[in-house]
Every structure is written in structure tokens, then in C-alpha cells.
Amino acid sequence: MHDDILIKIGKKIRETRQKQQIKLHELAEEAQISKGLLSKIETGRTIPSLPVLISVIQTLKVDMSAFFEGIEMQQNSPFIHKKSGQYTPFEKEEALGFLYQFILSHNIANIAFEAVILELKPHSKREKVVTDGFEFKYVISGQVEYQLGDEIVVLQTGDSLFFNGKIPHVPVNKTSLPASMLVIYLLLPPQL
């Protein structure tokens, strides 16, 4: 499935859910899928199986043909160009003060590449997480304390950080000003 279609489908699910004032965990529970899977579908980070997609759309009580209206595949192009207004904003419900702007997701060979802008509000909170891949962070503005395992790395505007996502990690903004970062995820296929 083309990455642009995934983003459009996920965005439509999220917008429909929010318009109906349904919480992420409520929709996931009623559609009989995990909250994490629904979050990944809404942000275009995973390809839902057909039964899962149908279950989510039916749970939202939206006519199937009406749901897909306006979702079209872009012409095949040797490059991807997105204007800043085309980024998809999203927040993770388990993270307070983390605002993501989804830029793109693309598969290159067997590596999934994902890019987002992350704005950290002052005193934002989230538990440490792990990911299956590598992460690159570039601080666009502000100051961020990055907790990596038992270590803390202080990042200022213009600093960058690259690490294995299997290390428990979380960015923390202890300042009174927002901070923003370019975040690039390189997700590797599972080893057999």
C-alpha cells in the first residue's frame, strides 16, 4: 500500500473519531484492537489488515464508500514534496505536552523511515519508551534533556543525537519555553 494512502486513511480515522468525541482507547476497545495499534494506524505508522480497517470504520458507524471518498493515490513521482501546511498534527494520549507534526513515512529497501517534528511544551511528561530501530533527534529550538537509560544528555538548539531505540528514552523540557525537534525513526524489519 502506498505510504500517502496510509497517512490519508489514518488521518480520516482520527478526524472522524475526534469529531464524534470518541477517545482513542474507547474506539480501540470497541473495535477489538489494541490502543497502540490504533494509534499507529491513525498516524500512518502501520498498515492495518483489511479486517482491522473494516472493524474500525464500522465501529465509527461510517458508510464504507463515504469513508474512502476523497482518498486518492498521488501520481507516481521520483520525489516527495510536502508543504508545511500538509503535515499531520497528532498527540499521543499517554504523553502530556508532546505535539507531533507527522511529515512523512516511507519504506526504503527493508527499512521504514519516518520523520516528524516534535514540539515539547514546558514541563511536558511521558514515561520512557523503547522502539525497534534507531532514532535521530535534531533540536530546532530550545533546550531538551534527553534521558537515555540512566544517562541524561542536554541538547541545545542545533545539537543532534542518534541512538538505538531499544534504550529506554524520553525527552524532557524543564524550561519555561517550548522546544522543537526534528525526529527521524529508522525502523528495522524483525530478525528471523
Half-sphere exposure of 77 (CA within 13 A, CB side): 9
Q: What is the CATH T-level fold of the domain 86-187, as seen in this structure?
A: Jelly Rolls (2.60.120)
| pLDDT tens for the 192 residues of the chain, in order | 455 677 778 888 988 998 999 998 999 999 999 888 888 888 777 778 888 999 999 999 998 888 887 776 555 667 777 777 777 676 666 778 898 888 877 766 667 788 889 999 998 888 998 887 899 999 999 999 999 999 999 999 999 999 999 999 999 999 999 999 999 988 766 554
How many whole angstroms separate alpha carbon 10 and alpha carbon 14? 6
Pair 100, 121: CB distance under 8 Å? no
Task: Domain 3-68: give its CATH code.
Answer: 1.10.260.40
CA distance 8 to 42: 9
Report domain extents, the chain: 3-68, 86-187
**Residues β-bridged to residue 106:** 113
**Full-model pTM:** 0.66
Which three cell numbers mark 185?
Answer: 525513526
